[in-house]
Structure 1
Amino acid sequence: MDLPVFHLDFLNDRMLIAIIAILHVVINHAMAVGGIPLVVYLEWRGLTSGDESWDRLAHRILTFFFVVTTTVGALTGVGIWFSTSLVNPYAIGSLLRVFFWTWFTEWLVFVTEVVLILAYYLSWKSWSGKRKRAHNRLGIALAVASWLTMALIVSILGFMMDPGSWRSDKTLLSGMLNPMYLPQLAFRTPLAMLMAGAFGLAVLPRVTERGSELRARAIRTISRWMLVWALPCVFGGLWYARRVPAAMAPNVAVALTTQALVAWSRTAIGVLGGACLLIALIAIWGSVKARSLRTWALLVPALLTVVLIGTFERVREFVRKPYAIADYMYSNGIRKEDYPLLQRDGLLAHATYTSVRQITPETEIDAGREVFVLACTRCHTVDGVNGVRGVLHGMYGDEPWNADAIAGYVGVMHNARPFMPPFPGNLEERRALGAYLARLQEHRDVVEGAQSTGVTTTPRVRRSDVVAQP
């Protein structure tokens, strides 16, 4: 709690990260990690067959992938750093301390990848004839670099779900080789290849003529590419699912839908399974009857993969709750080991940026608002996405909201909703939060972050003045 709180009360802080991150993952997986190997394969087809139409097709697909990855892909990559640093600086800071050398290595690999993709794209036409084979090898090097960037980052994503033996030995190697690392890598690698095929099909209407022999051959080849990677993706996904910690499994149903719609989770699984089946059917159709595949059908796999990867990322992020980093830091940015101190002294006593230190009858509402900002705004808004007014209305309806009842519920909410962290403050702060939340029934509020209001500090309470609360 040493940093001002960034907050978007209409969008939800985590939604900001989700939008940027999912867009980046779609581009990274489909057009870099999977897309470059696909382009290299098509170039190789032209090289070995002597058919220059394959080479021209590969270059056209690469042009689309190159433009998107070096613009939107690059911006969203920076955007992930920017948004996570704003929303939960404590989590990203902790990960940086553990994985400094991993991220440093990833940065070197990324710079190498940028140099290679520029060289690969810009030398396409000049490296022809006898130099074409060397150009194809350059593409292979680029494909390896693209995969390595993902392989390094996946170790960090796996660590956030299950740190494994890092809990005891605190070494970089144990953090990277966490129980989730290899299963997730085994899933994401073929998934990226599948997504590349899906987006490759979607690009074909722009880079080939309708009814042409080249389009038919391209559809057939890319469809078979997708089918080759389908089975490894299934096995990798099953391995990954089996390694998800048992404590996180109950959160899957809520992650697929919402708390209110959890009864529909099986239906959601069925819909997602149907989407996977439809992608497979289109790939089979394209591999055997390429000429009969309509233009709209070429777009469907790409659209469905966006939905599927978005759902996967939503579930992966949600099942970790109540933690941001499993067994180490809660989703509110507070370390698990700091809870005893904060529940004794209170959040306000240790917060750097707060307008209230001591809770009195006159400052109770303001104190409750400050507690809400410190403890709740990582996940909640007042009236926006995941707004607390909507949650409270669903619980208490139009009857007067009772501050004591709300305060009591806040103290045990993590039992009823295991994806929520325990309340981190003391009893006095919980009562102040209950009073603030009850007041929202009749008095709407917009909680703006420090980026809009600036920062407020008050002198810290001396340790001798802190009264431990029961």
Structure 2
Amino acid sequence: MDFPIFHIDFIGNRMLIAVDAILHVLINHAFAVGALPLIALLEYFGIRSQDPRWDNLAQRLLKIIFILTTTVGAMTGVGIWFSASLVNPVAIGSLIRVFFWGWFVEWIVFVCEVSLIMAYFLSWQKSARSLEAKLKHLRLGIFLAVFSWITMAIIVAILGFMMDSGNWMTERSLLSGLLNPMYFPQLAFRTALAMVMGGMTMIFLAYLYTRNDLDFRTMATRTLSRWSGIWMLALVVASIWYSLVIPQHMLANIPVAVTTQEYVGWNGRLKVLLIVGLSFVGWVVWASVKRPGRVHGANYLVSVLLLFAMLGQFERVREFIRKPFIIGNYLYANGIRVEDYPLLQRDGILQHATYASVREVTPENQLPAGREVFEQTCTRCHTVNGINSIRWQLKKMYGDKPWQAEVIAAYVENMHGARYFMPPFPGNKAELNALAVYLASLQKRAAPFNGAQINGIPKTDAISGSTHYGSLPNLAKTHGEQH
């Protein structure tokens, strides 16, 4: 309530983050965490066998990893910070206060990771001068792989905390936040998945790079497939462990998440598709170990695409089933803390919204007041005309018959009970009715909906003309004792 609302109506706030974040995760898992250990392994084979083909293959694969991770990977990582700070500053501010020292360490590790990959890649030619230089170079690769994994390990703790904050709600300590119930199962799952993704991606690239040396292609694909097969087994175990610790209310959200908020039978079919997809990847790995020369490159490409699609769907579902919270049991997806609900439902959200242009609902200002309530409480998930459009949702519910404000108000008041993933309405009765009037008006009139980045800030009171500043408790006071 203390920040202006950033909103891009054609794409929506959550899609803005999702596109950037999923692209970052795909690159991070497949190329940084999953592939770098294999580069060091291939270099080791080259040193042990004195066969330069292993070393040449490792260098060519590292070039792709280096380019992708230091360009698209790095930029999308920064993009996550930028977009999250714009879309939900309360959430990112809360996480920084809880995990300040965790992120501080992660940033240092990331700087080391970037320095290591530059040194590892740029010194490859010089390292070939002697065995001693090559062994030192190999140690760089091992350190790089470890640091890449540590970066993920720290971030996974924060992702787990956002799903289930565990004992932090009572202890309010960094350690209790890091060691949340979701941490180790999710870390095991992501580690195994990253290794499989990295292995299959490197197999496909190695298949392309060794087309003029079929004997070496057979050796390389068999070696990389054994690595992927071991991690496939670990992935099955980690998946079961992870599924057992997901809170029950999140499991209930899964059928909704996989069908884009439609209660139909796609959930069962998705499970079948996942099993079939992973079985196909497993068959490719097994065939590559037993008969590597007979597996066509298209099978490797399909395997890589399946793994990328599965990770993308996993991230989508994980983000959705966390609802109605963005931080488990602490902060709702609308950016309002659970503990602030009684105050807001008593006084109204407009009284405590720093940048609201309307402070009090009257019979004369119901429409602009309702628009303001929609902006403050709904736009972090919904648009008016774009992705996840509120007009589309209402049209599904009420069709072409006239939308009645009274009916919409009754639904919004009780929607949390009907659809748990929707946060409860945080305002008072007058604001609820004003919101319903605004939503009903969208059937006939849906003007472009812009956020504060276009409307301009700060906003002033429409009645008195004075600038208001919110009276909700400062987050720094809430988390200050943690440091």
CA contact (8 A) 1:349 1:460 kept: no
Secondary structure in structure 2 of the residue aligned to 1:250: helix
The equivalent position to 1:457 in structure 2, one of 429, 437, 460, is: 460
Cα offsets for 1:35-56 (capped at 9, x unmatched): 1101111111111111110010
Question: Where do 1:217-236 residues align within 5 Å?
Answer: 217-236=219-238
Question: What is the distance in 1 between the residues matched to 2:181 and 2:172?
Answer: 15
Q: Distance in 1 between matches of 2:233 and 2:428?
A: 52
**Runs of at least 5 residues in structure 1 that lack an aligned partner in the other structure:** 464-470
- Deviation above 3 Å: which 4+ runs of structure 1? 459-463
Q: Report what 2:206 is aligned to.
A: 204
Q: Does 1:266 find its partner at 2:268? A: yes
Instruction: Please name the residue that 1:103 is paired with.
Output: 103
> Between the two proteins, what is the percent identity of the paired residues?
54
SS in 1 for 2:125: coil
> Deviation string for 1:81-127 (max 9, x for gaps)?
00110111100100000000000000011111111111111111101
**Which consecutive unaligned segments of at least 5 residues does structure 2 have?**
471-483
Report the counterpart of residue 383 of structure 1 in structure 2.
385
| 2:125 alignment counterpart | 125
TM-score, scaled to structure 1:
0.96
Q: Which deviates more, 430-439 or 298-307?
A: 298-307
Work out whether residues 357 and 460 of structure 1, in 8 Å CA contact, stay in contact via their aligned partners in 2. no
Pick which of 114-123 and 195-204 moved more.
Answer: 195-204
Equivalent residue, structure 2, for 1:51: 51
In structure 2, the partner of 1:341 is 343
The 3-state SS of whatever aligns with 2:334 is coil
| Aligned mates of 1:103, 1:2 — CA distance in 2 | 24
2:140 aligns to what SS in structure 1?
helix
Q: Is the 8 A contact 2:350 2:356 kept in 1?
A: yes
Deviates more, 1:200-209 or 1:38-47: 200-209
**Residue 124 of structure 2 aligns to which amino acid in structure 1?**
W
Give the deviation of 1:210 after TM superposition: 5.1
1:403 corresponds, among 395, 402, 405, to 405
2:152 to 130, 144, 150: 150
Match of 1:466 in 2: none
1:301-322: CA deviation from partner (whole Å, max 9, x where unpaired):
1111111001111111111100
What's the secondary structure of 2:382's corresponding residue? Answer: coil
Q: From 158, 178, 181, give the equivalent of 1:179.
A: 181
Distance, in Å, in 1 between the alignment partners of 2:76 and 2:297 is 29
Distance in 1 of aligned mates of 2:345 and 2:218: 66
Is 1:141–2:143 an aligned residue pair?
yes
Who is 1:412 aligned against? 414
Q: What's the CA shift for 1:293?
A: 1.8
What does the per-residue CA deviation read over 1:235-285, in whole Å, with 9 as the maximum and x for residues that have no partner? 111111101112211011111222225321111111122111111111112
Whole-angstrom CA distance in 2 between matches of 1:462 and 1:177 = 36
Q: State the match for 2:334 in structure 1.
A: 332
Instruction: State the partner residue of 1:468.
Output: none
Tell me the distance in 2 between the aligned counterparts of 1:257 and 1:137. Answer: 47
Is 1:392 the counterpart of 2:394? The answer is yes
What corresponds to 2:5 in structure 1? Answer: 5
- Whole-Å separation in 2 of the counterparts to 1:334 and 1:6: 15
Match of 1:321 among 320, 323, 332: 323
CA distance in structure 1 between the aligned counterparts of 2:387 and 2:469, rounded to whole angstroms: 38
Q: 1:190–1:230: 8 Å Cα contact kept in structure 2?
A: yes
**Offset, 1:460:** 6.7
Paired amino acid for 2:446: R
Q: 1:214 and 1:18 mapped to 2: Cα distance?
A: 40
Q: Distance in 1 between matches of 2:232 and 2:61?
A: 22
Residue 87 of structure 2 is matched in structure 1 by: 87
Letter in 1 for 2:92: I
Deviation of the 1:208 alpha carbon: 2.4
Distance in 1, matches of 2:348 and 2:221, equals 63
Instruction: Give the partner amino acid of 2:41.
Output: Y
For residues 117 and 258 of structure 1, the distance between their equivalents in structure 2, rounded to whole angstroms, comes to: 39
Q: Which moved more, 1:254-263 or 1:380-389?
A: 254-263
8 Å contact kept, 1:165–1:174: yes
Question: How much does 1:335 deviate?
Answer: 0.2
CA RMSD of aligned residues (A): 1.5
| AA at the equivalent of 2:144 | L
User: Comparing 418-427 with 257-266, which one deviates more in the overlay?
Assistant: 257-266
Q: What amino acid does structure 1 have at the position aligned with 2:60?
A: R
- 1:385–1:152 CA distance, 2 compared to 1 (3 A): same
